[in-house]
Chains A and B, each alone.
Chain A
Amino acid sequence: MREKHTRSMVMTDRINSRYRRIFLAALLALTAGAFSGSYVKKLFVSRKVKKGALPGRKAMFFKSGI
């Protein structure tokens, strides 16, 4: 006799499928994160505003406001 496909079984299939997707997405995100650590760092770190952190150092011998 052919097994009856019950509602609960369908749900189980769906849940399994969702977990699989979540697991794969997390794995993908972790892999991408590992390879783009510098970018992630840049994304968060670079947006912090550090006043007076202009590249370089104040030079000598110049005239301003000409």
Chain B
Amino acid sequence: MGKKSKKFVLCDLCEEQCDLGDSEYGDCGVMLNEGGELAGIGIAPDKKVKCELCPKECELANLERGTCGVRYNAGGELRTLVYGKACALHIDPMEKKPMFHFLPGTPIFSVAAPGCNLSCKFCQNWQISQKNPEELINTDAPPQFIVDSALKEGCRSIAYTYTEPVIFYEYAYETAKLASENGLRNVMVTAGYINEKPLRELCRFIDGANVDIKAFDDRFYREICDGSLAPVLRALEVMNEEKVLIEITNLILPGLNDDMAKISKMSRWIAETLGEETPMHFSRFSPEYQMLNLPPTPTETLETAARVAKDAGLKHVYVGNMRSPEFETTYCPACGAVLIERSGFRIVSNNLQNGTCHKCGKSIHGVWS
């Protein structure tokens, strides 16, 4: 924190990036260069802080940031640098999240703030997730602005997505709360790497979540993502208990997590723990970030994984980032009737009748209205 030169200190706590001469204050009027050391008024240098938001539980010395790069210790008080700072704002089709069992065919207002608590080498959004806030151009978009914009654009829901909503927790929490009060639904697209207490608190306002299971393998999490599997599985159990509609995504990387035995094991766990109607998405990898050496996932691998998951008991299995009419369609798990036909992110036909099968009347798992 604060790169030292002989006299000047660069304060990189916020986007201003003040280069401070000796005894000079930054634009905030709080941080200053005190004899070549970055210091702050009213900041006690010896107070450590433990962040209890995610399982990494970073212990931070004064002015130190967590591994997420967005939360820091300000003299014994943990502060977030990304509250109301959106690095991406967009209106997406719901199917892009992907959420196939949640208000199909509706637009969803999507928001992201910089950073992530994992560092997956294959990250598809690394340009914003693997950066500190000051490295990006961020828009001031407080919760009220997000909710007003979503309503103005005719969206029925807001997604906290693209990066990791866990680490812009306060921003997502207050936006979701305000959105709920205004009749909007909230969707979280996350890796689920969060502690139980903050997750339960957030779930009060979250209606749906697409959670990444990167692999059903702790070693993969440790070596490729700098995380671990157990907290993700626990987060899924908590979300299920809190009645959040869960959809799972598994990005398949050729040679790294395409072992069909593990995919079968993961699918069985999902079916037994979260329910066999939990939608499962297998996504195709395309070379990104630090995994440019790998080829894109063969389409056959994804279709095989989808069949393995169905054999393991899951009723709604889809593939993504590729075209496959068979695995883009929602079928009735009871009679096999075509319920929702999709082409990419477009809904071709929706035969659901008040969330039930138009042929046999079976209630289909999802949020449909």
Contacts and interface: CB of A to CB of B under 8 A. Distances in A.
Contact of A62 (B43, B52, B81): B52
A8 interface: no
Contacts of B30: 49-55
Interface residues of B, number: 42
Contacts of A65: 47-48, 76
A48 B82 CA distance: 24
A59 B27 contact: no
Interface in A16-56: 42, 45-56
Given A45-B27, A66-B48, A58 B77 contact: yes
A59 B29 contact: no
A32 B74 CA distance: 37
Contacts of A47: 24-25
Contact of A59 (B40, B59, B80): B80
Contacts of B47: 64-65
B31 to A, nearest CB: 7
A66 B51 CA distance: 11
A34 B174 CA distance: 42
A62 B78 contact: yes
Contacts of A57: 79-80, 83-84, 170
Contact count band on A: 20 to 34
Interface centre among A42, A46, A49, A63 (most CB of B within 10 A): A46
B117 to A, nearest CB: 13
A63 B40 contact: no
Contacts, number: 105
**Prevailing SS type, chain B contact patch:** loop
Interface string B36-79: 00001111000111111100000100000000000110101111
A35 B324 CA distance: 59
Interface centre among B41, B59, B169 (most CB of A within 10 A): B41
B231 interface: no
A34 to B, nearest CB: 21
Nearest to B19: A42
Given A51-B41, A64-B49, A66-B49, A59 B28 contact: no
B325 interface: no
Nearest to A48: B29
Contact of B198 (A45, A51, A54, A61): A61
A62 B197 CA distance: 11
Contact of A42 (B27, B77, B81): B27
Contacts of A61: 51-53, 78, 169, 195, 197-198
A13 B81 CA distance: 61
Contacts of B53: 59-62
Given A45-B27, A64-B49, 10 more contacts: A48-B29, A50-B30, A53-B28, A55-B31, A55-B81, A56-B79, A56-B83, A59-B71, A60-B169, A61-B52
Interface of B: 13-14, 16, 18, 24-31, 40-43, 47-53, 59, 71-72, 74, 76-84, 169-170, 173, 195, 197-198
